[in-house]
């Protein structure tokens, strides 16, 4: 896919995702302050990377079901995790996506409840969006629940907290295992959810799961690099947080150049895995992953 064609397709998918988010982020019998906090947090911006990857996997396998409700559900789970991650008890971050974080814009209690609300609402969307295909709905909910649960995203966050302030000395392998749960698990679920919507995609679920974990690792290493070389205007959040929290990173292990090499090598492995599925339309997903690599190269 040419750069121009990828850019056009990216804008089309982003517009579809934003429209679907607007459709679902209309709340009825919800306290006004809570509804406002939930909607503000989701609509604060961001790349919509996880929804885009789900749509890309769906396109890759020419899926039959509408991928957009699932894409919205994934974005709500991701946003919930960011709201809680930014809380004073965790990262205590004042900025997210270039705007005040939820607990700063509202208050800590509202932020906790907004995150809780988005998490629960994600599964309501999956149940409603795929009610005509209960088997698919259950499969999608199972994938997302496992990825966001105590053994994966939540457990990874718990272990990540324990790394801060130098309370534990850990190896790079241990850090990567934490990141695979905190970051890679949701990417894996996202890709598998998109692939699950076609028979050929279901046959490639193990490859999609592996691809998500690999991409999550590359994404996290790139994030470590950007925490050193980026700026708040570029990243939309404070930089240098890892160093302030004494948190070991890929940059500490390999240096900036070494970390960039790791991103390039892991992304190349992602490409090989993607094409090994022999899917009819892998180009958009491949180019999306390459665009993430190019952030730091």
Tens of pLDDT along the chain (297 residues) come to: 888 999 999 999 999 999 999 999 999 899 999 999 999 999 998 899 999 999 999 999 999 999 999 999 999 999 999 999 999 999 899 999 889 999 999 999 999 999 999 999 999 999 999 999 999 999 999 999 999 999 999 999 998 888 765 555 677 788 888 888 989 999 999 999 999 999 999 999 999 999 999 999 999 999 999 988 876 655 555 666 655 555 678 898 899 999 999 999 999 999 999 999 999 999 999 999 999 999 998
Tell me the residue range of the domain where 24 lies. Answer: 3-293
pLDDT of residue 18: 97
Q: Please report the pLDDT score of residue 241 as a whole number.
A: 60
Query: What pLDDT was estimated at residue 162?
Result: 81
Q: What region does 63 belong to: left with phi over 0, alpha with psi -120 to 50, or beta?
A: beta
Rounded Cα distance between 41 and 84, Å, is 11
Domain harbouring 186, CATH code = 1.10.600.10
SS3 100: strand
- Return the pLDDT at 245: 56
**Long-range pairs for 275-283: beta carbons < 8 A, 24 or more residues apart:** 276/207, 277/60, 277/61, 277/204, 277/207, 277/208, 279/60, 279/61, 279/62, 279/200, 279/201, 279/204, 280/60, 280/61, 280/62, 280/200, 281/59, 281/60, 281/61, 281/62, 282/60, 283/1, 283/6
Report residue 70 as tokens: 């699932």
Nearest to 123 by CA among 81, 74, 84: 74
- State the total domains in the chain: 1
Model pLDDT, residue 167: 55
Q: Are residues 212 and 189 in contact, defined by beta-carbon separation less than 8 angstroms?
A: yes
**Angle between helix 68-85 and 134-147 (nearest 10):** 20
Per-residue confidence (pLDDT) for residue 13, from 0 to 100: 97
The DSSP H or E segment spanning 3 is helix 3-24
Predicted pLDDT of residue 231: 64
Are the beta carbons of 188 and 212 closer than 8 angstroms?
A: yes
Q: What tens digit of pLDDT does each residue of 75-94 get?
A: 999 999 999 999 999 989 99
- Residue 16's contacts (CB-CB under 8 Å, 6 or more residues apart) are 55, 68
**C-alpha torsion 277→283→285→289, nearest 10:** 110
Instruction: Tell me, yes or no, if the pTM score tops 0.75.
Output: yes
């Amino acid at each position: 896919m040419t750069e121009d064609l990828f850019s056009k397709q990216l804008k089309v998918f982003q517009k579809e995702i934003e429209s679907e988010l607007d459709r679902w982020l209309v709340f009825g019998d919800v306290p006004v302050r809570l509804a406002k906090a939930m909607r503000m947090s989701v609509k604060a911006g961001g790349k919509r990377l996880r929804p885009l990857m789900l749509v890309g996997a769906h396109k890759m396998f020419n899926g039959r079901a509408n991928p957009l409700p699932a894409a919205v559900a994934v974005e709500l789970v991701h946003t919930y995790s960011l709201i809680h991650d930014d809380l004073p008890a965790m990262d205590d971050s004042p900025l997210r996506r270039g705007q005040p974080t939820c607990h700063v814009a509202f208050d800590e209690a509202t932020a906790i409840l907004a995150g809780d609300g988005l998490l629960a609402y994600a599964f309501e969307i999956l149940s409603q969006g795929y009610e005509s295909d209960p088997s698919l709905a259950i499969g999608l909910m199972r994938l997302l629940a496992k990825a966001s649960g105590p053994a994966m995203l939540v457990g990874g966050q718990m272990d990540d907290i324990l790394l801060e302030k130098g309370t534990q000395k850990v190896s790079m392998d241990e850090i990567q295992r934490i990141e695979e749960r905190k970051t890679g698990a949701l990417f894996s679920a996202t890709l598998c959810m998109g692939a699950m919507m076609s028979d050929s995609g279901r046959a490639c679920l193990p490859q999609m799961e592996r691809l998500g974990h690999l991409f999550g690792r590359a994404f996290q290493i790139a994030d470590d690099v950007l925490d050193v070389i980026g700026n708040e205007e570029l990243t939309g959040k404070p930089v240098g947080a890892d160093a302030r929290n004494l948190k070991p990173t890929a940059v500490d292990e390999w240096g900036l150049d070494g970390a960039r090499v790791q991103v390039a090598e892991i992304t190349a492995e992602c490409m090989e895995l993607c094409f090994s599925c022999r899917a009819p339309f892998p180009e958009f997903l491949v180019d999306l992953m390459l665009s993430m690599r190019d952030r730091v190269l």
